[in-house]
Each structure stands twice: as C-alpha cells, then as structure tokens.
C-alpha cells in the first residue's frame, strides 16, 4: 500500500474546504482542544446540526446534548475530523465532470455503508459506533478521487463491458492504481489511524488481508465487508437483491447474527439511512422489509433447489400441515416420521439434507435423535432444525452442544420456516462446493454462525458465575479507557476479593465454595450501577469498571457493594455462613499510561485492605493508600 505522494495522478483530488479544512488543520495541531474545534464548527450551521445528530445518536440512551462543544466532547476529535471531511465531500461533489460516474448513487451507497458500520459496531470489538460511521462513509472515497483526477479515462473504464467484475484490475491496468489503494492513501494522509486504514484497504477482498482470525483488524475488515454488502443490497434493483441475500446471511453468521437478527438490524438501519439522506440531501431508496425480500427469494428459489427433508413430529395434525406446506407449497421431497426411532431408520434409508424435528417426543426425543445423527459419519452434514415451544436458555445451549443447527418456534410460522429452509439450502450448496474443493472445508465450516456463537460465548464468559471473564473484562476496560481519551471523563475500577475464601473451601467443600462465588457474583451484578461492567478475574477476585466515576464516587460504590455482600448469607446445608469482601479502589490519574497501571493501583489498594483487617474498602490516590472505615 503506497503513500499518497507516490501514486501517479493527473488532476486534483477531492479535498475538504472551508470549515472542514479548518477543522482538519486544527486537529493536526498538537494543542487543539474541543473549544477551538467548536468555535470553528459553529460557523457552519449545517455541520453543527449534523454533529449534534451524530452525537445524540451515539448517546445510547444517555443525556442528549444541545451544544456543539458537548457534541464534540462526546464524539472525540478524531471522529469529528472524519465526519467533517465526509460531510464536506458530500456537499462539494453531488455532481462532477466524469461521464458515467453515478455521483448520486455513489453517495447513496457510501452513506448506507456508514450507517451500516454504525449499526453493526455492537456485534464486534472494532471500535466506537460513531467513529465507524465516518469510516464507512469515506471507505470508497478512492472511486470519487479517480472520477475527479481522471474524469475522461475513468468514465471510459466504467463503460467497459467487464467493469462490474474487473473494475480494480482495469483501474490498475490503465491508471496504475486502484480505488482501494487510493482510498487508503487519502484516509491515511487525512490522519486516520492505520488500525482503520488497513481494514478499509482490504475490505472488498477480506480473505486477502492475512489478518489473524479473531484479531481486531480481522473483525474490522469483515465488518467493513458486511457493511459494503448491505450497501450493495440497499442500492440494488429488485431482481439483484435476491441474488445477494444468501451471501449476506452467511456474512452475518460470522458475527453470530441469524436471519431474524439480521433482518431486524437491516430494517432499522435502512430507516436511519433515509433520515440521514434527507439531512445531507442524498437520494436513498426504499427497499421492502428484509423478511419480505427473503420470502420473495425463497419463493423464487424453491423449484430450483428441492431438498430432501425428513419431518419428525409426533402430533398428527401438525405433521400433516407441515408435510403439505413443505411438499405442495415449497416443492421439497418430504419423508415423515412420528418418533425419533422411526426417523433414525428413515434417515439412513433416505439420507435427507434437512431434518425438521420436534423436541418433545416419546421414546427417542429430538435432542437424542440429533446426537445419534451427529455420532454417525453420514449424519454429520445434515442441517438439523429443532421445533420447540420452549425458549429456556439452558435447553437452547444444550441443544446447540448436541449438534442442532437452528431453532424454529412452535406454532410454526410459514415465513420463518421458509427463512430456515433458505439457510438450509445455502448450507447444502456449500456442502456441494466442499465436495469439489475439499481443501476449503474448514474455512466454510468455521463460517457457520452456531460454531462462532458457541466459541465466542465460551471465550468471553466465566462458566461458573455467568459473568464476563477476565478477557472480556479487560476488553471492556480498554474500551472505557479509550472513551476517556476522547471525552476526558473520569474512570474508576474496583477490585474485590472474597475474604477467607480458602477457609470456606477447606471447611465446607468446593461445592459450597462454588455456591459462594455464584451468590457473590449475583450480588455484585445486581448492586452495580447501570453503566458499570462486572467480570470475574479468576479465583475469588472480581473487577468492576465504573465509567464517568472519580475516586470519591468509586469509593461510595465500593462501600455500597461491600455492605450488600456483608449482609449475604450462604446456606451450607447445616448452617448459614456470612461472607465479606475486601475492595481496592483506584481512578485514572495523569501518570497512568495504560489500563494495567490502573488495575495495578486498585490491586495495591486491595492488598492494603487485606492487611488492614479485611471487610474494608481502600483507595489508591497519587501513590498512597488509605483505608476505612468511612
């Protein structure tokens, strides 16, 4: 990836002007602050309104802001710089000299990509939603740059018969660069961090990035790719949308989003896209609800790909109705069984591609049938959908562990049935691809949503207490630390340790010790404030992250938790025992360079509390510890 000055260009590139340029210059200054930026931004009423809207949309239910100074403080200087750049380019380049370049379509697509990045930020650890909105808006700015710097040449490329499938290749061949390289170079030149620029560079072909799976760049590059595909869907014609839905559902599965969750998210962000379009004077479309698009595609695709379906249902009425819907309305080849044992025999005989099975049945129930199929070599690739009226989380987890691919609530909704069969159809198409190319089996299998969801849950959750584990807690602390970098707000942490926990284990056994850990975890979670994050660090130690909290407020929170746990009683079966905790409190100080220094300060305060008699809260302030009673 070359720097901007090394890329051959004939004409001028798109660049910010006026207020946006002044903001960019201020952000490059080492002594710029919120008030300086606010004074400049207030001279542009349109920019002021757009920043206020973005700041309030990023509030997540918090207090709305009415002044541009507060908006900039909430968003952070980097995000304000990026938004000002994007809004400035939108205003300047509604039209241009390049024949064949759809300026209105470009900004419509870019705006939807930004809105999608903001909407999907919550399902990844890629960054703040408002920051990702600006990055999504600017991610394809290299296309606008080529249309601006080489208007005639680029117009000729866009008219090429293969432009839709070979655009990057044609750009490199004729212009000695391409829009992905130019986008990344321009964003880097404008001051965006490389942690965002590199994923943007690879987002059209994320598998070429080489980023380590699970890493932040890997999450980001696939998030940008997902947002681009959503933008493609929103700006596509009605016939094109149906072809794009299968790939979009598969991409969503990388982030643990099933068809229902993906549909709700896309419907919501399409509405926000239209609202932003009115504000920025960018044209937007009005595609139908995602469920209707999925339903239409399922209807079109039914006869093209009939599947072998094994329906297992002990209720005769339900079985007859589903059989008719699957075979007559949807065109699949259906075999029916009234119980699990009959189904197991029929599965060996007919080798179904999809198994729809009720859970609660006499004899061999649905979960036992699933386990029996997964235990056989021939049953491992079948797509199994469990029919159940239960939404018990423990049962759901047990079923996924047993090998179920998806759930369908009873009574069965036909639209949801079609959606599940659509996913099953795509699953089977992948299996056929795997037969042709066995080397890609693990890559495709890793993309199944259920496996990702199960692995992500196990990696980030403490199984004993149900709290986030140390890894998740430190990730939350890093985000809170970054938020204070942008906003300047206070940040405190509490480190809690159960007093005499080894004695409880030695005296009453590990089962009572586990019960004690669970009850203390529940008490901390119930008593923590709404915006606090709680995690189990390991053993008998817990961490509470308190955003927007100084040392005094942190001490008050610690004392409240300590008194709640002091009143806790654990039933040993023979007697009730009391539990106490010692708590170390520390707040971010100017000398602290990272999250480790903050947690270490709280640990030292905890150590002092332990050696001062326990059942105490101690604080760390400027290198000194002080303990209660308070």
**Alpha carbon distance 404, 388 (integer Å):** 12
* 218 vs 432, higher pLDDT: 218
Instruction: Give percent of the chain with pLDDT exceeding 90.
Output: 48
Q: What is the pTM of this model?
A: 0.51
Strands of 561-616, DSSP E: 569-571, 576-578, 581-587
* 461 vs 453, higher pLDDT: 461
Which of 23, 32, 13 is closest to 50 using CA atoms?
Answer: 23
* Total residues found in the chain within this entry: 630
Is residue 108 predicted with pLDDT exceeding 90?
Answer: yes
Is residue 483 predicted with pLDDT exceeding 70?
Answer: yes
How is domain 470-627 classified at the CATH fold level? Alpha-Beta Plaits (3.30.70)
Is residue 355 predicted with pLDDT exceeding 80?
Answer: yes
Those residues whose C-beta lies under 8 Å from the C-beta of residue 545, and which sit 6 or more positions away, are 473, 476, 477, 480, 491, 493, 532, 533, 534, 535
Q: In the predicted model, what is the mean pLDDT of the chain?
A: 86
Those residues whose C-beta lies under 8 Å from the C-beta of residue 345, and which sit 6 or more positions away, are none
pLDDT at position 299, please? 56
332-364 burial code (b ≥16 CB/10 A, e <16): bebbbbbbbbbbbebbeeeebbbbbbbbebeeb
**Alpha carbon distance 616, 211 (integer Å):** 46
Write down the CATH superfamily of domain 302-412: Response regulator (3.40.50.2300)
**Alpha carbon distance 48, 72 (integer Å):** 10
- pLDDT tens across 20-77, in order? 888 888 877 777 777 888 888 888 777 878 888 888 875 545 577 778 888 888 888 8
How is domain 96-289 classified at the CATH fold level? Hypothetical protein af1432 (1.10.3210)
Residue 619, beta-bridge partner list: 585, 626
- pLDDT tens across 383-398, in order? 999 998 877 888 888 8
Those residues whose C-beta lies under 8 Å from the C-beta of residue 101, and which sit 6 or more positions away, are 143, 147, 151, 154, 155, 158
Half-sphere exposure of 255 (CA within 13 A, CB side): 28
Which whole number is the average pLDDT over 415-434?
A: 83
pLDDT at position 623, please? 87
Which whole number is the average pLDDT over 132-144?
A: 91
Sign of the CA dihedral running 202, 228, 281, 196: negative
Is residue 191 predicted with pLDDT exceeding 90?
Answer: no
pLDDT at position 446, please? 54
* 410 vs 147, higher pLDDT: 147
Q: How many Å separate Cα 148 from the centre of its chain?
A: 34
Which of 231, 228, 245 is closest to 180 using CA atoms?
Answer: 228
**Alpha carbon distance 293, 289 (integer Å):** 7
Is residue 80 predicted with pLDDT exceeding 90?
Answer: no
Find the range with the poorest average confidence among 261-275, 278-292, 316-330. 316-330
* 153 vs 396, higher pLDDT: 153
The domain spans of the chain are: 13-92, 96-289, 302-412, 470-627
And the tokens for 422?
């659509």
Is residue 171 predicted with pLDDT exceeding 60?
Answer: yes
pLDDT at position 289, please? 84
CA distances from 307 to 311, 323, 326, 414, 428 (A): 12, 13, 10, 17, 9
pLDDT at position 303, please? 47
Which whole number is the average pLDDT over 352-375?
A: 91
pLDDT at position 53, please? 84
Which of 210, 51, 206 is closest to 139 using CA atoms?
Answer: 206
Which whole number is the average pLDDT over 379-383?
A: 91
């Amino acid at each position: 990836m070359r720097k901007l000055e090394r890329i051959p260009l004939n004409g001028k590139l798109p660049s910010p002007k006026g207020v946006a340029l002044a903001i960019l210059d201020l952000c490059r200054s080492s002594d710029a602050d919120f008030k300086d930026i606010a004074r400049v931004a207030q001279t542009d009423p349109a920019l002021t309104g757009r920043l206020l809207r973005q700041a309030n949309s990023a509030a997540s239910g918090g207090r709305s802001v009415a002044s541009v100074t507060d908006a900039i403080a909430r968003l952070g200087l980097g995000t304000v710089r990026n938004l000002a750049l994007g809004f400035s380019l939108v205003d300047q380049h509604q039209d241009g000299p390049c024949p064949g370049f759809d300026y209105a379509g470009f900004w419509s697509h870019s705006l939807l990509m930004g809105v999608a990045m903001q909407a999907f930020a919550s399902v990844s650890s890629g960054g703040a939603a408002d920051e990702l909105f600006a990055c999504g808006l600017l991610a394809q700015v290299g296309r606008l740059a080529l249309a601006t710097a080489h208007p005639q040449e680029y117009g000729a490329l866009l008219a090429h018969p293969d432009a839709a499938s070979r655009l990057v290749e044609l750009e490199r061949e004729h212009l000695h660069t391409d829009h992905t390289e130019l986008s990344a170079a321009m964003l880097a030149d404008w001051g965006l961090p490389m942690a965002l620029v590199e994923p943007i560079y690879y987002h059209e072909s994320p598998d070429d990035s080489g980023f380590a799976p699970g890493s932040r760049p890997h999450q980001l590059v696939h998030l940008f790719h997902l947002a681009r595909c959503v933008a493609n869907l929103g700006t596509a014609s009605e016939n094109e949308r149906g072809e794009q839905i299968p790939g979009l559902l598969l991409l969503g599965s990388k982030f643990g989003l099933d068809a229902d969750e993906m549909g709700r998210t896309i419907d919501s962000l399409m509405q926000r896209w239209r609202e932003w379009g009115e504000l920025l004077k960018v044209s937007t479309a009005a595609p139908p609800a995602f469920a209707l698009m999925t339903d239409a595609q399922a209807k079109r695709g039914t006869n093209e790909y009939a599947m072998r379906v094994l329906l297992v249902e002990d209720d005769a009425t339900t079985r007859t109705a589903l059989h008719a819907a699957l075979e007559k309305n949807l065109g699949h080849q259906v075999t029916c069984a009234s119980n699990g044992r009959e189904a197991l025999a029929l599965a060996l005989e007919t080798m179904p591609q999809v198994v729809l099975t009720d859970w609660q049945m006499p004899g061999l129930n649905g979960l036992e049938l699933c386990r029996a199929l997964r235990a056989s070599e021939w049953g491992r690739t079948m797509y199994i959908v469990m029919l159940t009226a239960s939404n018990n989380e423990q049962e759901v987890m047990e079923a996924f562990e047993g090998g179920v691919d998806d759930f369908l609530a009873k009574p069965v909704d036909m639209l949801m049935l079609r959606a599940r069969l659509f996913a099953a159809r795509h699953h089977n198409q992948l299996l056929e691809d795997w037969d042709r190319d066995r080397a890609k089996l693990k890559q495709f299998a890793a993309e199944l949503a259920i496996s990702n969801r199960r692995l992500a849950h196990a990696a980030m959750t403490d199984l004993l207490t149900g709290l986030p584990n140390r890894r998740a807690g430190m990730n939350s602390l890093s985000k809170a630390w970054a938020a204070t970098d942008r906003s300047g707000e206070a940040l405190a942490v509490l480190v809690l340790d159960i007093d005499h926990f080894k004695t409880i284990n030695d005296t009453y056994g590990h089962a009572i010790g586990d019960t004690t850990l669970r009850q203390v975890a529940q008490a901390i979670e119930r008593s923590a404030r709404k915006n606090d994050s709680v995690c189990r660090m390991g053993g008998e130690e817990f961490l509470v992250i308190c955003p927007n909290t100084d040392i005094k407020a942190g001490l008050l929170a610690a004392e409240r938790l300590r008194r709640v746990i002091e009143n806790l009683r654990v039933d040993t079966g023979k007697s009730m025992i009391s539990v106490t905790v010692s708590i170390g409190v520390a707040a971010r100080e100017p000398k602290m360079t990272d999250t480790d220094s903050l947690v270490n300060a709280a640990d030292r305060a905890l150590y002092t509390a332990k050696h001062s008699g326990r059942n105490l809260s101690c604080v760390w302030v400027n290198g000194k510890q002080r303990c209660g009673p308070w």
